[in-house]
Amino acid sequence: MPKIEEYKRLVERRKSCRLCNSNLLNPAIVAGGSYDSEEIGPWSLWQGSLDAQLLVVGQDWGDTQYFEKWQGTDQPSGNPTNENLQRLLGSIGVQIGKPHEHQAQIAFFTNLILCLKSGGLQAPVKDDWFINCSRGFFKPLVEIIRPVTIIALGKKVSDWILNLYDIGYPKDGTMSEIMKHSPYQLADSTALFPLYHCGASSVNRNRSMPEQIADWVRVKEWMESKSCTLTNNNH
* pLDDT tens sequence across 191-234: 999 999 999 999 999 999 999 999 999 999 999 998 887 755 44
| pLDDT at site 122 | 77
How does 78-97 read in b/e, with b if 16+ C-beta sit within 10 Å?
Answer: ebebbebbbebbebbebebe
Q: Is 170:177 a contact under the CB 8 Å cutoff? A: yes
As a whole number of angstroms, the distance between CA 71 and CA 61 comes to: 13
Q: Which amino acid is at 220?
A: K
The whole-number pLDDT of residue 123 equals: 79
d(CA 78, CA 44): 18
pTM of the model: 0.94
Structural contact between residues 35 and 26, judged by C-beta atoms closer than 8 angstroms = no
Under DSSP, the state recorded for 197 is: -
Residues in CB range of 154: below 8 A, 6 or more apart: 58, 59, 175, 196, 197, 202
Q: How many CB atoms lie within 10 A of CB 166?
A: 7
Q: Are 154 and 196 in contact (CB under 8 A)?
A: yes
Which residues, in sequence order, are bridge partners of residue 105? 233
Ramachandran sector of residue 14 (left: φ over 0; alpha: ψ -120 to 50; beta: rest): alpha
pLDDT for res 104:
93
Amino acid, single-letter form, for residue 8: K
User: What are the residue ranges in the chain where pLDDT is below 50?
Assistant: 233-235
Q: What is the pLDDT of residue 154?
A: 96
Residues near 52 by beta carbon (within 8 Å), at least 6 away in sequence: 105, 106, 107, 108, 145, 147, 233
In degrees and rounded to multiples of 5, residue 18 shows phi and psi of -135, 30
> Could you tell me the domains of the chain?
3-92+101-225 (3.40.470.10)
